[in-house]
Chain A
């Protein structure tokens, strides 16, 4: 048996021939994707192409039926894990529509989540002062005011505040894989800049990101290494960041025809 030591790195996320259905309708139809540590992948595609479904299935959202295929994260089968186990392993999904949780302050929520993750990894719980300090630092870098952290999770937050709150969590939890589902939706240009710079600050050789978006605009701020075009539940084309430009010029129609 041959070994290509040092030439082939194991992918951080490896998706093979994934088929996913919802109520007898197949949404993802034979999708392949390899994402390595340090890379930022953009997934673009028209509405209904299966982009959000893909992000949900990776994170383990209930209600989807995986009929075939595999999702490996650091070589482990993600589909065998509960969503909270996946989170503890380092899968983070920044939601397109973050939910509101009345009566639970953001601070308490962050602490509960962070400690649950640390417990799952047999790490000690954060001490309160260390935790507060860490939250303040990260919140400061994202222009998140202190009073926002003391309010109920996302309750009464503007669209931009909700998205910044997602990035705050992403920064605190230090995940290995960040999936950003239309993080640009509902953001004005200033909010987009803050969110994008928060995301860019988290780029690292150990971490991979999947950025899902309709628009090239976001990719001017978060420059991807690889761009995939998704249509009808499959990756139709992959390329460098210039693929996004091409898409803007010609639209998605050419890929849909090919499908």
Chain B
């Protein structure tokens, strides 16, 4: 009991000191006036030099948003958000058109350096030509788009991607340069009317990433976007749109961090994925927004709508997420299995500690014939946190031969936290095969003692057991990020590592 209590104590003490990314970058920034109105929407659209159709789209969303109310069905508690007390746009100054990294504020570059994100391609661009027989270095290359508050500050490897025909750029640029693609797909997976936060995002989103992979192309490198909220009282509303055309493949990763602040900050993103015939999209997230301090003060409110549409036959969309941050997480990356024989996957690790509240899960909507889906969710609750899995698996009347397998496992550390599982399963035809497994276990004192008797410290023992628990999901992440995520898990649960 003593050992377990110590572990619980250690875990409880985790707060601001443990959050490595809590620093603030001192730069000048340009903001929209506080609050939300048609003027704010117009201001953002104008800042982005958007065409008229885009402004119209935003204004429609805004007007609809005015008629909507915040959803309350999630198992999360927070004081009412004053949507007029938020800045909806903040951009680092000077805001010239940035054509190369040298024009970016060095402070911002330093920020990303501190975060361990390689925006400079120098190291990779020098001495590049692979020798015959050597592994292509492109396999280790990662193209990065960095979003700082409301704008994208740099996108790397653009030229090399262009050679392959892949478009990877800030969505604000894509709206100007590829309006036909954006108009065709934006809002086609998450319509502007979808839900309170998605509608808000449609009105005020300022940047995010845009990816288009042409037919038959296997994207030559991992694509990734790093989101950073820096400004005080600022909301971040990024919008990501990824289209994998017929027979193409792309793997995409997003990472998120924010400074530690006493107040709560709103993050309401929308991610839309479209996979056409035989295409595959693998989308991974390592979310480490500031979770708040040990008293539950501060932290990011993360209200995110992520949805993938397996629009084509034999298409596949796979979500992998490692969620360790945010005061509140409200997030259900989903798959619409529209094409026949399409497949959706959701692999999730959600860790909550301190006063964090997580309500996360997925929806698998089977519409096409012989569609299949797989859900593996691992929730770990420590401290005084609440961790809920909420999922929906549904088979349409015409979705004959639909199959789903779901496994939800929860691990509790200490006795002040909670784990909840809320699965909804609907089959509207008799040929659907749905399996659901759920377990909840406590990290047992006997297991910890066994480990320390073999010479491991308490922290090492907890880390080992937890990493064993989440291994199945961790394996789904691209190699580089699996290592990062493993460390993140150790930090999230380990009081002595700072």
Contacts and interface: CB of A to CB of B under 8 A. Distances in A.
Interface of A: 59-63, 82-84, 87-88, 92-93, 95, 97-99, 101-104, 109, 112-114, 116-117, 120, 152, 169, 173
A103 B455 contact: no
B470 interface: yes
Given A95-B450, A104-B467, A116-B455, A62 B460 contact: no
A63, A97, A152 interface centre (most CB from chain B within 10 Å):
A63
Interface string B207-232: 00000000000000000000000000
Contacts of B455: 84, 87-88, 113-114, 116-117, 120, 173
A116 B456 contact: yes
Nearest to A83: B452
B465 A84 contact: no
Contacts of B467: 103-104
Interface string B436-457: 0000000011110111111111
A104 B463 CA distance: 11
Contact of B1 (A60, A62, A104, A173): A62
Contact of A62 (B2, B451, B454, B468): B2
A103 B469 contact: yes
B468 A104 contact: yes
A87 to B, nearest CB: 4
A101 B452 contact: no
B61 to A, nearest CB: 44
Interface residues of B, number: 27
Contacts of B37: none
B454 A169 contact: yes
B462 to A, nearest CB: 12
Contacts, number: 81
Interface in B412-466: 444-447, 449-458, 460, 464-465
B447, B464, B471 interface centre (most CB from chain A within 10 Å):
B464
Interface string B455-489: 11110100011011111100000000000000000
A82 B2 CA distance: 11
A81 to B, nearest CB: 11
Contacts of B445: 62-63
B496 to A, nearest CB: 13
B98 interface: no
B444 A62 contact: no
B412 to A, nearest CB: 15
Contacts of A59: 453
Closest 6 CB pairs of A and B: A103-B468, A104-B468, A117-B455, A62-B2, A113-B454, A103-B471
A82 B461 CA distance: 14
Contacts of B470: 103
B32 interface: no
Nearest to B470: A103
Contacts of A92: 453
A99 B449 CA distance: 10
B55 interface: no
A101 B3 CA distance: 18
12 contacts: A61-B453, A62-B3, A62-B449, A83-B452, A84-B456, A87-B453, A87-B454, A87-B455, A99-B447, A101-B450, A116-B455, A117-B454
Contact of B447 (A61, A101, A113, A173): A101
B444, B451, B467, B470 interface centre (most CB from chain A within 10 Å):
B451
Contact of B465 (A82, A101, A113): A101
Given A112-B460, A173-B455, A83 B468 contact: no
Given A102-B469, A109-B454, 8 more contacts: A62-B2, A92-B453, A95-B453, A97-B446, A101-B447, A101-B450, A103-B470, A113-B454
Nearest to A82: B452
Contacts of A173: 454-455
